[in-house]
Structures are given as structure tokens and as C-alpha cells.
């Protein structure tokens, strides 16, 4: 009887230990493997068009690599997976373990409904969330010691890509249509992800530490998207990094942040919605029409602060935003506009192609000062000096804010200083950063009283 490999956030054949486990079980019985993907309405409803389009393309690429045999079925996973298992008479269903709250709940429901084992092998991380603890046996609260333990623990070598897999021929509903989107998406699929990684490793990674904070220079890997869908596994990257002839510590450390956030969410599933710490009194937050107007201006990239607006427009154009700018726009929403981080995080989840509940929510909590190892609440990013420092010639702003295209050099970060020369179609700042910073700090001090 064929064994099922149920693909979720592991849309690849290489370095996929769960798939390998399914293939080995099938081979031992001289049988086939059913490559299954479930289009669960719960998942489909919660993701924005850019993510769904990318996912549909990634599924098409996966279908090609399994010889057109990908079995796509629509419906709640807790019904579909047991139904397919019964239909083909599978002895087991193999998966890469889900570690975030929704995936864990879903898998428990599937496991409960199945008559055969749900076999979890590996996770989307180099070290499974929850595996590392402090010497006292408690979860890590702080990143640096977590990273130390993570490096000490290490990870296994990449798993081999299974060859000549006998994929079963089972009815498929087909890959869903792509929703309409104007977002300019990168090529999807395992092969495109490997190509991107190989090029980046050879040509750009050596300069990562110097360039990673410069949104104008585009010096980062853009691998967050393939990592989110599991088109690449971080273990593959870490194995290649170990062979690199230059210093890779900064890049490896960013991968460690990804693992840290997943670990925090594993221990605190509620952090997907609730602040891990309360830092300001409830009445600090904007509400009603004022909050709505501020949020709308922020989301549309019309705050009058060019570095913030460039980021918000990059998000809408690419479904991706540079990390430095993510921090600045998030700080602006929470500390200048006094809008709760959850609202900004939801907007990001709608637009980001790499939108990932652990990375997104925990990074928002980091910026908002409410996370486990967060930036202190009193660190308020200054949208002008951040722009001047990390986009020194204003190239990034001019690329994304066409109204400012004719403003030369770094003057583009403060168009209100241009007087009569200021472009008419670009808004004045909707708030005064200095004044709002003071409000945020006063709120913080009230919260500590
Ligand atoms: P690179 O600089 O090339 O880094 C390499 C890899 O390291 C990334 O692909 C990513 O997997 C990891 N990484 C880098 N920075 C971080 C970080 N701060 N936290 C965790 N992992 C990191 N990342 C997501 O993958 N999904 C999200 O939904 C997400 N939301 C974010 C929201 C906010 C408010 C902020 C401040 C950051 C968010 N990040 C998120 C983290 C980070 O911005 C992106 O991972 C990064 O910009 C992706 O670009 P890159 O692949 O070129 O990164």
C-alpha cells in the first residue's frame, strides 16, 4: 500500500528527512509514495493574494518535480488527510513537524482522525523549537545565550535527495488558480531557491555584514521567502556556510534569530496575538477614527516621512520589505502613531510573501518592546536619521516614492524643508516625530509607575 508524504512548509525534495522517511517506508514494502498537498480553507482564507499566488507557483514547481503526480485536495486537513489515507490504504502519513500554534492544533486534529500513524520527522528549523533549554532547564528568554546553545548543539548534515521515487498515480483536484495580484514576485520553487542561494553565496554573501542594513544597495539574500515555504531548509544553508572561505557569522546569526523566534512561539503560542510584556498603559493607544486614519496613511505609504513611505510602498510592490525599513515602519506605527503592534502585524501578514507567524509577530513584538528579548520600549527609531544613515543618497526613497523622484541627494528625507520647492503631491508629515516620541516615552514611564 502506498505511503503518504503530506507536504506543508517543506515544498522541496532535497534535504527533506520526512520525505526520505516516507520513501524508505514505501521502498521497504516495494510500494509507491503519494505526494499530497491539502488546500485547507482555513489556510487559504488567512493569507493575502501575494502569498497565495507564490504558493500556487511553488506547488506547480513541486508538481513538475514529482512528474506531475502531486495530489492536491481541497478541504479541512482533518477530513482530507484521513480520507486520502483510507482511499489509498496508506500504512502511515509522513510530515515535517509543524511548530506554530495553528499547525500544531491542526496536526493534533489530523492525528486524532487518522487510523494510521502521523509520523513527524524534522522541522522547518535546524534545531527543532523547544529542543534547547538553559542549564536550569527553562526556555531561553534572551537571544545571545540561545544562539550560543544553538551553535553548540549543531545540526545534522543535509539529507540526500531521493532518486527515482515511485510516485503513485492518484486523482488530484489540481493546483488552485492564482488570485489576481500586481505584486512583482520572485520565481517560486525549489530550483529557483537553490539558484538564488548559489548566486548569493558566490557573489554577494562575503559583503553581507557591510551591506545588510542598506536598503538602497539590496545586499541581502531574499531567502526569507523560500525559507518560509521550505523550498530550502536552513540546514542546507548552514552546511554551505561552514565551507565558505570568508566570515559568515553575521549571516548565521540572522538564521539564529529565525530559530529563536520559532522557539519563543513554541513556548508561548499566545504570543501570536498577545504582548509577552505590557509596557504602556491601555489608554496610551490611539482608538476610533484617529487610529483608523493614522493606520490608513501608514499602510498607504502617505505619512509624509519618506523612509517610512518608501518601505510601505515597497511592501505593496514586492510583497517584501528590507529588514531595516521593517523596523523603522513598525516603530513608527507603534511609537509615533500609537497604534497597537497587532494591527501592523496583520497588515504585514496580508502583504508579505515571507509572512510567517513566528517571524512576523515576534519581530513586531521586538520593535514594540513587548517581546522576550526586545528592543527597549524607549528606543524609538527616528525615521529621518535612519533614512539619512541607511539610505545616504536617498536612492531607496526615490525608487519607491515617485513624487520625490526629482529631489536630489539626502534632502529627500526631509522634503518639508524644501519650502516652495517641495513636491506638491507628497503629503506633509502627519505627526511631529519629536513630539510623538515624547508622548511614547511618557506613556512608557506611566506604565512603570
Ligand atoms: P537576510 O538579511 O538575507 O537574512 C537571511 C535570513 O535570516 C532571512 O531570510 C531570514 O530567514 C533570517 N532573518 C534575517 N533577519 C531576521 C530577523 N530579524 N528575524 C528573523 N529572521 C531573520 N521575516 C520573515 O521571514 N517573515 C516575516 O513575516 C517577517 N516579518 C518581520 C516583521 C518585522 C516588523 C520585522 C522588523 C522583521 C520581520 N522579519 C520577517 C525579519 C526580516 O525582516 C526578514 O527575514 C528579512 O528582511 C528577509 O530578507 P532576506 O531574506 O533578504 O534577509
Residue among 125, 197, 224 to mutate when testing ligand 1 (max atoms within 8 A of CB): 224
Q: For the chain, which ranges sit under pLDDT 70?
A: 449
**Annotated domain spans of the chain:** 3-122, 124-157+190-267, 289-447
Residue 8 beta carbon below 6 angstroms from any ligand 1 atom: no
CATH code for the part of the protein at 124-157+190-267 = 1.25.40.80
Establish whether 223 is an annotated binding residue.
yes
| 71 touches ligand 1 (CB under 6 Å) | no
Question: Residue 74's beta-bridge partner residues?
Answer: 39
- CATH class belonging to 3-122: alpha beta
* Three-class secondary structure of residue 260 per DSSP: helix
Residue 401, C-alpha cell as written in the block: 516614492
Q: Is 222 in the pocket of ligand 1 (CB under 6 A)?
A: yes
Per-residue pLDDT at 449: 67
Q: What is the ipTM of this complex?
A: 0.99
| pTM (2 d.p.) | 0.97
Instruction: Say yes or no: CB of residue 352 within 6 Å of ligand 1.
Output: yes
**221 annotated ligand binder:** yes
Give me ligand 1 centre to Cα 360, in Å.
Answer: 8
Q: What is the CATH number of domain 289-447?
A: 1.10.579.10
Nearest-atom index, ligand 1, CA of 357? 28
Cα–Cα distance, 328 to 337 (Å, whole number): 12
The annotation status of 309 as a binding-site residue, yes or no, is no
CA of 131 to the centre of ligand 1 (A): 22
Distance 323 CA to ligand 1 centre (A): 6
Cα–Cα distance measured from residue 96 to residue 6, given in angstroms and rounded to the nearest whole number: 8
208 is in an annotated binding site: yes
How much distance in Å is there from the Cα of 128 to the middle of ligand 1?
A: 19
With a 6 Å cutoff on the Cβ, whether 353 touches ligand 1 is no
What pLDDT score does 421 carry? Answer: 86
pLDDT score of 60: 98
Task: Report how far ligand 1's centroid is from the alpha carbon of 399 (Å).
Answer: 21
Amino acid at each position: 500500500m502506498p505511503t503518504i508524504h503530506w507536504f506543508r512548509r517543506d515544498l522541496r525534495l532535497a534535504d527533506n528527512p520526512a520525505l526520505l522517511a516516507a520513501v524508505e517506508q514505501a521502498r521497504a514494502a516495494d510500494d509507491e509514495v503519494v505526494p499530497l498537498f491539502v488546500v485547507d480553507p482555513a489556510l487559504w482564507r488567512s493569507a493575502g493574494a501575494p502569498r497565495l499566488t507564490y504558493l500556487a507557483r511553488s506547488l506547480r514547481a513541486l508538481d513538475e518535480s514529482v512528474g506531475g503526480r502531486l495530489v492536491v485536495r481541497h478541504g479541512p486537513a482533518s477530513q482530507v488527510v484521513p480520507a486520502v489515507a483510507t482511499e489509498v490504504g496508506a500504512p502511515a502519513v509522513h510530515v515535517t513537524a509543524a511548530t506554530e500554534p495553528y499547525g500544531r492544533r491542526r496536526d493534533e486534529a489530523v492525528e486524532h482522525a487518522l487510523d494510521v500513524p502521523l509520523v513527524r520527522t524534522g522541522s522547518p528549523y535546524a534545531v527543532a523549537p523547544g529542543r534547547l533549554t538553559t542549564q536550569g532547564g527553562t526556555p531561553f528568554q534572551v537571544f545571545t545565550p540561545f544562539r550560543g546553545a544553538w551553535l553548540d548543539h549543531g545540526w545534522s548534515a543535509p539529507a540526500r535527495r531521493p532518486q527515482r521515487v515511485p510516485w503513485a498515480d492518484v486523482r488530484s483536484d489540481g493546483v488552485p488558480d492564482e488570485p489576481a495580484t500586481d505584486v512583482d514576485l520572485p520565481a517560486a520553487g525549489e530550483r529557483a531557491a537553490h539558484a538564488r542561494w548559489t548566486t548569493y553565496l558566490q557573489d554577494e554573501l562575503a559583503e553581507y555584514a557591510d551591506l545588510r542594513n542598506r536598503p538602497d544597495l539590496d545586499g541581502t539574500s531574499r531567502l526569507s521567502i523560500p525559507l518560509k515555504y521550505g523550498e530550502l531548509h536552513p540546514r542546507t544553508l548552514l552546511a554551505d556556510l561552514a565551507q565558505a572561505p570568508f566570515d559568515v557569522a553575521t549571516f548565521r546569526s540572522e538564521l539564529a534569530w529565525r530559530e529563536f523566534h520559532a522557539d519563543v512561539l513554541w513556548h508561548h503560542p499566545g504570543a501570536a496575538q498577545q504582548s509577552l510584556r505590557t509596557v504602556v498603559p491601555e489608554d496610551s493607544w490611539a482608538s476610533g477614527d484617529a487610529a483608523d486614519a493614522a493606520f490608513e496613511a501608514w499602510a498607504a505609504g502617505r505619512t509624509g516621512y519618506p523612509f517610512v513611505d518608501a518601505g510601505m510602498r515597497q511592501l505593496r510592490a514586492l510583497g517584501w520589505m528590507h529588514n531595516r525599513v521593517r523596523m523603522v515602519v513598525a516603530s513608527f506605527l507603534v511609537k509615533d502613531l500609537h497604534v497597537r503592534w497587532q494591527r501592523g502585524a496583520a497588515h504585514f501578514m496580508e502583504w508579505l510573501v515571507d509572512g510567517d507567524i513566528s517571524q512576523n509577530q515576534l519581530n513586531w513584538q521586538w520593535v514594540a518592546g513587548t517581546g522576550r528579548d526586545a528592543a527597549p520600549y524607549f528606543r524609538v527609531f527616528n525615521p529621518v536619521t535612519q533614512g539619512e544613515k541607511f539610505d545616504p543618497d536617498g536612492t531607496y526613497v526615490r525608487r519607491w516614492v515617485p513624487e520625490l523622484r526629482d529631489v536630489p541627494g539626502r534632502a529627500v528625507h526631509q522634503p518639508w524643508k524644501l519650502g516652495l520647492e517641495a513636491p506638491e503631491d507628497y503629503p506633509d508629515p502627519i505627526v511631529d516625530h519629536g513630539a510623538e516620541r515624547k508622548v511614547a516615552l511618557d506613556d512608557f514611564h506611566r506604565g512603570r509607575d
